[in-house]
Structure 1
């Protein structure tokens, strides 16, 4: 197959780079809408898969009939052309493989998209809207995504403040299973950090907040308990991890408070002050056994980790190209098999028709067998030039590009 041969696949979509959230939410796909959208899109292609996340809505086509951009706009019934991108042929495959690998994500290398692509394919497959071309493409993209993450480590380093805090806690305290977290305040970042800490094994959670109702809500979500703000210094000695995310006109924890909390215990205390302004006295970081980090510390870690991820992109892109080449080789063999089968079936059908027509001559068994053998030889000789064209790739290219007339000729 020559390099100019174009696979008859395409992708059309919007994402965080091409459209604001006000547009993305207009084309997001709710479960109850998926069947109707798929039915409409199948009028424009033989195979269809919908991928919808908070940052992208995409339609993958195989066996495209007509303009995929018009098909997308028609499905949603609104003009979207200024926000849409379209990739066709090999560029569409590269896009799918990059998406599955996290290379096209808002957060480079993120892992959630891998599962989202898999679920999108499973849903489409269950609806019967995918066939051999898209099935193989998505399976290859998922394999490539796994290779990218395992062979480059692009997803290993934290790229969010909340997860960076968890990495630091694990580095200082070791295994977090059974550890106790104390949350001062109930801000969004504190909640995210607590989510990651709980996933890392932290079991005991205490929330202290000036508003008791909010403290109780957050504590209930993580199976913990709430305490009055005035009890902070009393419960501090029980904490392995302290998350400060509150507004206060002064420091709520000072070195003497932390020193008393650590007296008589052998294990350290990890403190994260993500408040602005800070509410933990920076001097607490000098207390023996106390490890204090603030928002700037965590942001620097995230920036360094993002830079490390970016440095891994060339290797990840090379793996994407490996995956696309594997697909093209499979597609070449698939096209050859389909064409060979089609050619052979066609000439065998012609031979059967002629045999049935000549059957009225009243031939005996020997004559019929001789005639059947002769027709088989003729059909093989007639098919030979077409089979050579298949092997040389000229008709194979027509098949992959969806040029049915060239194949029939």
Structure 2
């Protein structure tokens, strides 16, 4: 019997943001309703994809997405081994917008948890998602697919760590109070920085961000004073002109590192000429990001090898699951045969001899079961298929 797993979904590869928004299933209302309608299924719904995994017929899952305003051209459907392989690629980060991104593994885990919570899982799905989670962990621990900064905020953090090694005790000034500033400060707080100084044109916004990250707030008029205190400056303010000029920086006994992640730039490039100032901008950070992305892409073949091994392992489990009754009958028959031939043998000897005789028959049963599956894997992926 073919592997009855299916997948229906859409992602950043097949649908624009407006379509993905319509397909998204919120975890409080839409997702529980969808699971009740499907009966059995796991829904993976993120900002970049909505995918429904299930067993049996996929018609209900397809209809559910079409009813939410998703055109057929935006959907992809996979069955059997290809659905399983796709799930493994997603969990490993190979199907993400940014290859190797870490968040997707937690999202796969949450999707399985919610399905369990609403009683919508069964054996095949449970095993498939547990295998996907184990694979995702292996991909990140045994390869470099998730290493290196691949966002500007992370690249800026990596740069700060490269410069200082340890950020604890440092005073960090952030110019701007928008999303990028908050993201960078979140990363910094996780590294144990000593003090955060938030500078913004609108003092109320500076205060709101400072309260969220446990820092001090300043208006733009205090920028020169803040620059006297800071060890590290990160600029991300939305401004049409430079906010920091060479004359704004006092001569210092210790160097000042400045990272300008704003566009247009916040820091005049001439600042880099000062003997006590070290300035990095978006071009510098994007070169780091691109280098790290290329390094991640070089790890893809290693991850794909892990995926094929995981597919083979799952199919071996599935084959044993499908022929479990037949396997038990073989074991029982061999036991009776050995008992009749060796009436004086002790129980351990009987058990070993019965197992030895049953082993090739059990392998043959599993091999036949795997060959009935859709799209059987290559012999390297599933050792049972390579047996003669």
TM-score (norm. length: structure 1): 0.77
- Residues 114 and 57 of structure 1: is their aligned pair in 2 closer, same or farther, counting only changes over 3 Å? same
What SS does the aligned partner of 1:14 have?
A: strand
2 CA distance for matches of 1:142 and 1:218? 35
Match for residue 117 of structure 1?
Answer: 108
* Structure 2 residues without counterparts, runs of 5 or longer: 332-360, 375-388
2 CA distance for matches of 1:311 and 1:340? 43
1:50 is aligned to 2:55: no
Any idea what the Cα deviations from partners look like across 1:106-131, whole Å, max 9, x if unmatched? 11100101011011112212322212
Deviation, 1:61, is: 1.3
- Residues 73 and 6 of structure 1: is their aligned pair in 2 closer, same or farther, counting only changes over 3 Å? closer
Larger displacement relative to structure 2 (201-210 or 19-28): 201-210
Deviation, 1:184, is: 1.8
Deviation, 1:200, is: 2.4
Q: Does structure 1 conserve the Cα–Cα contact (< 8 Å) formed by 2:238 and 2:262?
A: yes
Q: Does structure 1 conserve the Cα–Cα contact (< 8 Å) formed by 2:10 and 2:20?
A: yes
Match for residue 23 of structure 1?
Answer: 19
1 CA distance for matches of 2:239 and 2:31? 48
TM-score (norm. length: structure 2): 0.80
Q: How does 1:55-204 map to 2 (within 5 A)?
A: 55-62=48-55, 64=56, 66=57, 68=58, 70-76=59-65, 78=67, 80-204=71-195
Match for residue 288 of structure 2?
Answer: 301
2 CA distance for matches of 1:19 and 1:174? 42
Q: Cα RMSD (Å) of the superposition?
A: 2.8
What SS does the aligned partner of 2:323 have?
A: helix
* Structure 1 residues without counterparts, runs of 5 or longer: 345-387, 402-409
1 CA distance for matches of 2:318 and 2:207? 58
Q: Does structure 2 conserve the Cα–Cα contact (< 8 Å) formed by 1:259 and 1:287?
A: no
Q: Does structure 2 conserve the Cα–Cα contact (< 8 Å) formed by 1:48 and 1:129?
A: yes
What SS does the aligned partner of 1:25 have?
A: helix
2 CA distance for matches of 1:399 and 1:342? 21
Q: Does structure 2 conserve the Cα–Cα contact (< 8 Å) formed by 1:335 and 1:399?
A: no
Deviation, 1:77, is: 5.9
Deviation, 1:196, is: 1.9
Match for residue 359 of structure 1?
Answer: none
Q: Does structure 2 conserve the Cα–Cα contact (< 8 Å) formed by 1:253 and 1:279?
A: yes
Q: Does structure 2 conserve the Cα–Cα contact (< 8 Å) formed by 1:73 and 1:80?
A: no
Aligned residues: 344
1:269 is aligned to 2:269: no
- Residues 115 and 249 of structure 1: is their aligned pair in 2 closer, same or farther, counting only changes over 3 Å? closer
1:246 is aligned to 2:237: yes
Match for residue 41 of structure 1?
Answer: 38
Q: Does structure 1 conserve the Cα–Cα contact (< 8 Å) formed by 2:330 and 2:362?
A: no
2 CA distance for matches of 1:17 and 1:80? 14
Match for residue 353 of structure 1?
Answer: none
2 CA distance for matches of 1:340 and 1:112? 41
Q: Does structure 1 conserve the Cα–Cα contact (< 8 Å) formed by 2:260 and 2:280?
A: yes
Match for residue 314 of structure 1?
Answer: 301
2 CA distance for matches of 1:170 and 1:131? 46
2 CA distance for matches of 1:122 and 1:210? 44
- Residues 399 and 320 of structure 1: is their aligned pair in 2 closer, same or farther, counting only changes over 3 Å? closer
2 CA distance for matches of 1:132 and 1:29? 24
Q: How does 1:317-332 map to 2 (within 5 A)?
A: 317-332=304-319
- Residues 90 and 159 of structure 1: is their aligned pair in 2 closer, same or farther, counting only changes over 3 Å? same
What SS does the aligned partner of 2:204 have?
A: helix
Q: Does structure 2 conserve the Cα–Cα contact (< 8 Å) formed by 1:339 and 1:396?
A: no
Deviation, 1:251, is: 4.1
Structure showing greater radius of gyration is 1
2 CA distance for matches of 1:101 and 1:394? 28
